[in-house]
Structure 1
Amino acid sequence: MPDPRDHRPLIGEPLALDLLNTRWAGTPVNDALTGVEQYGIWLSSNGLSERCTADEAGLEAIRQAREAIELAAQDAREQGELGAPARDGLDAVLAHGRIRRTAGPGGAEDRVEADRPEWLAPWLAADDFLTLLGQGAHRVKQCAHEACILHFFDASQNGRRRWCRMAVCGNRAKAARHYVKARG
């Protein structure tokens, strides 16, 4: 459940895209990761506040992960695959953690371990992005509205979702088309 202090316009996308959505349209661009308190709100909205501490080191690490995922998302959209700089950026984040497999009471258990505490949330976000790519790079999308920079994972059956939120960006586009038609 999102933290009630989280005022971002789109919340609840998969972790990697939710991290990208800490930036949204405005002049200048709005940024929900401008300080430790805002980072703590993002951690809380993503159910990570019990596992991750909001501090300066974590804020710097999550910003690095956001930049790496942004570049990778751009490559996925534009090329359908990741270029070397995008892979290097993700790998730099992923180098700070690993999945450790252990035997649990019911069988195999996977536990994520980070080399330093501030890298757990960034590692989880980068790993989540790779999982999304595995489900189809074409489903990692940026909103089609020209004024929107939000990202979403298109889970629709036909893969044709265009808007981050139909009620906002989709309706704006419809209204703009209607206005042009009515004037013309």
Structure 2
Amino acid sequence: MHAEHRSQEQVAADPRPLIGEPLCLDLINTRWIDDGVRHDLLDSTGGLAVWLRSAGLDDRATADRATLDAVVETRDVLLGLAERRSSPEKAEALNRVLAHGALHPRLGPDGPEHHPRTDDPAWLPSWLAAADYLRLLTESPGRIKPCAHPNCVLYFHDATKNGTRRWCSMAVCGNRAKAARHYERSKSGP
């Protein structure tokens, strides 16, 4: 029975409305609001397994309690930083996550390689997400954005040429905003 339950967890689809963002934002986006209902993919190790698979980390990390605790802690730190609530405490919290690992260079068959190593395997997904956040801050800090819809809690990396993306998804939040504007105009019409 246990093996059957586990295989069902492994085939569960990722229910989140926005996936495929850079790893740090993908981790933040494991909590979302749908029709006024708050969801948290990381409310169980089963949800963690879904996220690890969606993020391409399921072959490098185990969906267990220790990994879940590390990932939830890291998500909270990243969310605080993304919300522009930067503080020495938030920076130190991110640095504590980063202290769990490092990149180790080596010469591979195709040239130089860098492999992350952590002091505890449970911290690998968290360390990778924290390192990815630093990468985004280095490359394009102004492109880490919250969705402009007031009822959305998702974040995205604005990869548009002119940097003017406003919505996590034009098909969802962008259309909601357009529909709300249309409704307001029709109410105040002639």
Instruction: Check whether TM > 0.5.
Output: yes
Equivalence map 1:28-177=2 (5 Å): 29-75=38-84, 82-177=86-181
Correspondence 1:9 to 2:26: no
CA RMSD between the two structures: 1.4
**How far is the alpha carbon of 1:4 from its aligned partner?**
5.2
Q: Distance in 1 between matches of 2:187 and 2:107?
A: 68
Q: Distance in 1 between matches of 2:185 and 2:56?
A: 46
Q: Distance in 2 between matches of 1:84 and 1:121?
A: 23
Give the letter aligned to residue 65 of structure 2: E
Give the letter aligned to residue 110 of structure 1: H
Q: Distance in 2 between matches of 1:163 and 1:102?
A: 40
Residue of structure 1 in register with 2:187 after alignment: 183
Q: Distance in 2 between matches of 1:89 and 1:72?
A: 10
Q: Distance in 2 between matches of 1:85 and 1:177?
A: 40
**How far is the alpha carbon of 1:28 from its aligned partner?**
5.2
Return 5+ residue gaps in structure 2 as ranges. Answer: 1-10
Q: Distance in 2 between matches of 1:40 and 1:182?
A: 46
How many residue pairs match? The answer is: 177
Question: Counterpart of 1:29 in 2: which secondary structure?
Answer: strand
Question: Counterpart of 1:146 in 2: which secondary structure?
Answer: coil
Q: Distance in 1 between matches of 2:12 and 2:25?
A: 19
* 1:101-125, Cα deviation, whole Å (9 max, x unpaired): 1122333210100000000000000
Give the letter aligned to residue 18 of structure 2: L
Q: Distance in 1 between matches of 2:44 and 2:172?
A: 28
Q: What TM-score comes out, normalization by structure 2 length? A: 0.89
| Percent identity (aligned) | 47
Q: Distance in 1 between matches of 2:109 and 2:19?
A: 35
Q: What TM-score comes out, normalization by structure 1 length? A: 0.92
Q: Which moved more, 1:129-138 or 1:149-158?
A: 129-138
Q: Distance in 2 between matches of 1:105 and 1:28?
A: 50
Match for residue 20 of structure 1 among 28, 41, 45:
28
